[in-house]
Amino acid sequence: MAHPPSHEETAAREAQEERARREAQEERARQEAAEERARREAEERARRGAEERARREAEERARAEASHIQASRIDPNAEVNRAVDGDEYMRTKLGIAARDGEIEAVRRLLAAPGIDVNKANKGGETPLYLASYMGRTEVVKVLVAAPGIDVNKADKDGRTPLYWASHNRHTEVVKVLVAAPGIDVNKACNDGETPLWVASAWGRTEVVKVLVAAPGIDVNKADKTDGKTPLAVAKNEEIKAVLRAAGARQ
């Protein structure tokens, strides 16, 4: 015949049941807190996304307006827009001055009547492209502020000023470009390599740090050749760590 539980057994069972109730309550509280955090994070991401879209749209409108104004002032027949005699790449005076870092010459040319700030040579290389390629930071600053500038205009291979600044380790130029109105930080070349992709592949650690912090950056955009992401081609462990911290996937 079973004996009734002792006082000690009853107390132990009640204590166990109380612990189970507390643990269940704590677990519910944790789940509710996690759900609330997730909700707030989703709302914050949505808010930031909306703000970013609004900013980009405003910049695009401003750039389009500036381009329209600049286009109305461009005189394709003006001497200032003609290729320099004897230059095999058909560069303009502005293109050569930008390439060579001649800041005062660049300023004078930008003020010339009819100037086309986006006039490219036969390879599709604009003055901004050439200055970015060579790491002429001060020239880049002046050019990105010029009315009508197209900061994303690429060469015949689809490589932009930001692509080459990133490839060539010109970190200060990259900083100027990613802050320029209308910049497309994810614009890829014809092979699908973005500025972040090429900086990661070539071990440009400091450039990668700047790019992953740029608004709208896609850290997982893969190339067209092998479908590899920046993380997959990253040159060193520090770059891999930076990319992972930014949400990159293999």
Q: With a cut of 70, say whether residue 165 has pLDDT above it.
A: yes
Q: With a cut of 80, say whether residue 57 has pLDDT above it.
A: no
Q: Quick one: 151-245 is in which CATH superfamily?
A: Ankyrin repeat-containing domain (1.25.40.20)
Higher-pLDDT residue of 36 and 106 is 106
Q: Calculate the CA 106 to chain-centre distance.
A: 26
Cβ neighbours around 105 below 10 Å, total: 16
For the ranges 84-93, 98-107, 161-170, the one whose mean pLDDT is highest: 161-170
Q: For residues 98-116, give the mean pLDDT.
A: 91
DSSP letter assigned to residue 159 = -
Q: In this predicted structure, what is the pLDDT of residue 69?
A: 47
Q: Helices 205-212 & 171-178, crossing angle to 10 degrees?
A: 10
- The amino acid that residue 19 corresponds to is R
